[in-house]
Amino acid sequence: MSEDKTPELPSDEELERLDRDELLKLGGKLDGVELVEYPDPFPVKGTRAEKRAERLVAFWFALAGLASLAFVVVMIFWPAKYEPFDSDKHLLYSLYTPMLGVTLGLAVLGVGVGVLLYTKRFLPHEVAVQDRHDGGSAEVDKKTVVAHLADAGTRNGIARRPAIKRSLGFGVGALGLGITAVPLVGLLRNPHAQSGNKDGLLHTGWQHVGKEKVFLRRATGDASEVVLVRPEDLEASAMETVFPFRESERHDHEALVHALKRSDNPVMLIRLRPEDAMKVVQHAGQEDYHYGDYYAYTKICSHVGCPTSLFESRTNRILCPCHQSQFDALQYAKPVFGPATRKLAQLPITVDPETGYFIATSDFNEPIGPAYWERKS
Amino acid sequence: MIKKLRARTKLRRRLAGLLALAVALVSVGALYSVLVPQPQTAQAQDVADPATVRAGKQLFDNTCITCHGANLEGVKGRGPSLVGIGEAAIYFQTSTGRMPAVVQGAQAEKKPPVLTPEEIDQLIAYTNDAGGAGVNMPAAQGEELRGGNPARGGELFRLNCASCHNFTGRGGALSSGKSAPALDGVDEATIYAAMLTGPQNMPRFSERQLSPTEKKDIITYVKSVTDGNNNPGGNPIGGLGPQSEGFIAFLIGMVALVGVTLWIGSKA
């Protein structure tokens, strides 16, 4: 049936006389719904089954309540202070988080299960039938809605006012153009116009400023401690991570910390074994970047920029953990496996004749890390 | 008394003079040897008892010679030279069972040790004698090798070690079949020896690069996160974080949730 006849509505006095069940039926009829079954699950009061169901639901709610109280008690009184692993209070400390989880979890679970059980046991099992409205709307509805829309279109009078039509077109059109331009303009400007910017991609924290020497510094776990590296500190087949240090930063705690944290600073200082150092192949232009058996390569992978910290001392390979690119430390750190295609940048180092510590003679000769659009190679 | 001491003969006078001179010389010599500071003389290595060295040579010829050569010079393609290899390296490799290696592969794996501690000492005595001494183990042992600053040890561990061995010492993969082992169940002396000698593909950390205190702090940190220690309230399921936890979440959690959903929608 595609058309439903609207049932006739009772008058106000008749409405007053209907009781709740009859009002329910009327409401259903108005929506096309007919309640077939709506029984009380426990028509006979006081049966054992009903009492059992009540106790079950009450049990779950009570459990939830007790668990919540336990949660509050645990939160306030359980010892939460860190205990080292070899102390005998460690077990109690380590159970703090699980106890919080168990109590709160049980509380939430209890409420949920209680509510679900109540719904299953105590709510009437309703069976209702609703008319299915197939097909299109009634013809009168279609025609009246179309008439409304057409009237709104013509009665506002824009069609008869060309000046307003054109100015509206210009105003909204230009606004749309502006909105679409916002994300596109960023693609057109050159982000590397200021190549001298010390924080740009061309430079690292090893960049020399004036004539000040840049020392290689080791990290000892204490950021304000300045420990510089001498050649004899490393044995053959050793690798050390070094960071830049300038004498002017010695008492500037923030600069000392910053040097350890700047992401393009870490450099691997590698001392090769003498028999391997004889097999080294230098890259053109980088022949004097090493100091004897000591080679310094940046840690930043030329693939996506992860720190290539894994140094295999027997095979002299530098392995990056992210995508498993391998660089050969005996061949100017050129990639021999994995997705990287460009060598790791090499830091030119030498030993300062005045102090005996390692210094970097200049910044890297290329941008370190992953390639970018404007990079020349 | 004085009257008596007045020497009666010339001979007696002479003898008395000589005696006085002798006493004076001896007492000056004694004072000298007591008061003058000892010169720094080079001390030879505790020269090992020849029997131990012989036993070590016998052991070496039976166990190690195939890959390390008759004169510790190494055999190309099989084993490196052991000249000047040092006590620490031999202790590490033999006490963890890696040496004697039974098969050539990507790397020698840890296995139950073949040599007893006594045999290890004999081997050390022989290699020190035949090839010259190298890096020695520290005198301290066991608990004395733990430092007092595990937080700094953690910083140093993350800087130097975590890239290969994982943040909590779960181990990790290297290239071509090699791996950095997990750090569970390793005693303090072995960890110290490994840092000092850089076995196989591990880099070497000399006492100047990582001072003994720093090494001990690293050992304390390692001990605090391995052997089941860093699991505040829970099953670590391998300590691999999201990998194993995600697997458990899907296998157990999702299935349980689906079960609960089915229960909610079922007929009462």
From chain A, pick out residues whose CB is under 8 angstroms from the CB of B234. 97-98
* Beta bridge pairs of residue A349: A360
Q: What is the pLDDT at residue A157? A: 84
CB contact under 8 A, A97 and B206: no
Give the chain A residue whose CA is nearest to the CA of B135.
A235
Q: Which of B211, B214, B216, B194 is nearest to B88 (CA)?
A: B194
- The SS3 of residue A112 is helix
Percentage of chain A lying above the pLDDT 90 cut: 69
Domain with A300 in it: 214-360
Burial of A237 (0-12, 13-18, 19+ CB in 10 A): buried
Residues A152 and A42 placed together within one structural domain of the fold: yes
At residue A58, the pLDDT reads 97
The pLDDT confidence band at residue B267, using thresholds 50, 70 and 90, is confident
- Region B50-131: CATH code: 1.10.760.10
Chain A residue closest to B107 (CA)? A314
Q: How confident is the model at residue A47 (pLDDT cuts 50, 70, 90)?
A: very high
For residue A2, the model assigns a pLDDT of 44
Question: Which residues make beta-bridge pairs with A326?
Answer: A319, A337
Q: How close A125 gets to chain B, by Cα (Å)? A: 9
Q: How far is B189 from B74, CA to CA, in rounded Å? A: 26
Task: Assess if residue A141 is contained within a domain.
Answer: yes
Q: How far away is chain A from the Cα of B46, in angstroms, using its nearest Cα?
A: 25
**B68 band by pLDDT with thresholds 50, 70 and 90:** very high
Greater pLDDT, A194 or A135? A135
Are the beta carbons of B217 and B188 closer than 8 angstroms? no
Q: Are A124 and A39 in contact (CB under 8 A)?
A: yes
Query: What does the pLDDT read at residue A1?
Result: 42
Q: What is the pLDDT of residue A14?
A: 85
Which residues 177-216 of chain B have a CB within 8 Å of chain A? 178, 198, 200-206, 208-209, 214
User: What are the domain boundaries of chain B?
Assistant: 50-131, 142-229
Assess if residue A256 is contained within a domain. Answer: yes
- Closest-CA distance of chain A to residue B237, Å: 16
Q: Is residue A67 part of a domain?
A: yes
| Percentage of residues in chain B having pLDDT higher than 70 | 93
Question: In the predicted model, what is the mean pLDDT of residues B97-118?
Answer: 90
Tokens of B234: 């829970």
Mean pLDDT within A102-108: 97
Per-residue model confidence as pLDDT tens digits over A272-284: 999 999 999 999 9
Asked if the Cβ–Cβ distance from A240 to B214 is below 8 Å, we say: no
Residue A256: helix, strand or coil by DSSP? helix
Beta pairing partners, B180: B172
Q: How confident is the model at residue B231 (pLDDT cuts 50, 70, 90)?
A: confident
Instruction: Report the pLDDT value the prediction gives residue A195, as an integer from 0 to 100.
Output: 67
Please work out, in degrees rounded to the nearest 5, the angle formed at the alpha carbon of residue B203 by the alpha carbons of B197 and B206: 50
User: What domain count does chain A have?
Assistant: 2
Which chain B residue has its CA at the smallest distance from A235's CA? B206
Superfamily of domain B142-229: Cytochrome c-like domain (1.10.760.10)
What CATH number is given to the structural domain containing A274? 2.102.10.10
| ipTM reported for the complex, 2 dp | 0.77
Q: Residue A199 domain-assigned?
A: no
pTM above 0.90, yes or no: no
Residue A374 lies in a domain: no
Q: Do A313 and B164 touch (CB under 8 A)?
A: no
Identify the pLDDT of residue A30. Answer: 87
Q: How far is A239 from chain B (nearest CA, A)?
A: 6
- Where does the pLDDT of residue B47 fall: very low under 50, low under 70, confident under 90, or very high at 90 and above? low
Which pLDDT score, from 0 to 100, does residue B46 have? 59
Same domain, yes or no: A41 and A118: yes
Q: Distance (Å, rounded) from C-alpha B195 to C-alpha B206?
A: 8
B50-131 with B142-229: one CATH topology?
Answer: yes
What residues of chain B lie within 8 A of the CB of A312, using their CB? 174-175, 178, 201
User: What average pLDDT is seen over chain B?
Assistant: 88
Residues A23 and A131 in one domain: yes
Same structural domain, A17 and A137 = yes
The tens digit of pLDDT for each residue in A240-257 reads 999 999 999 999 999 999
Q: Which residue has the tokens 């050569």?
A: B69
Q: Which residue's entry shows tokens 């991570």?
A: A241
Q: In this model, does residue A185 exceed pLDDT 50?
A: yes
B150-194 pLDDT per residue, tens: 999 999 999 999 999 999 999 999 998 999 999 999 999 999 999
Contacts of A268 (CB under 8 A, 6+ apart): A239, A240, A241, A242, A296, A297, A298, A299, A308, A309, A311, A318
Task: Give the pLDDT score at B3.
Answer: 58
Flag whether residue B83 sits within 8 Å of chain A, measured between CB atoms. Answer: no
- In a mutational test of the B interface, the residue from A314, A325, A358 whose CB has the highest number of chain B CBs within 10 Å is A314
Q: Which residue do the tokens 């299109």 mark? A: A136
Residue of chain A minimizing CA distance to B267: A120
H helix runs in chain A, sequence order: 12-17, 20-31, 48-77, 90-94, 96-122, 139-155, 162-188, 253-261, 274-277
CB pair distance less than 8 Å for B214 and A235: no
Whether B268 contacts chain A with CB within 8 A? yes
Q: What is the mean pLDDT of residues A139-163?
A: 91
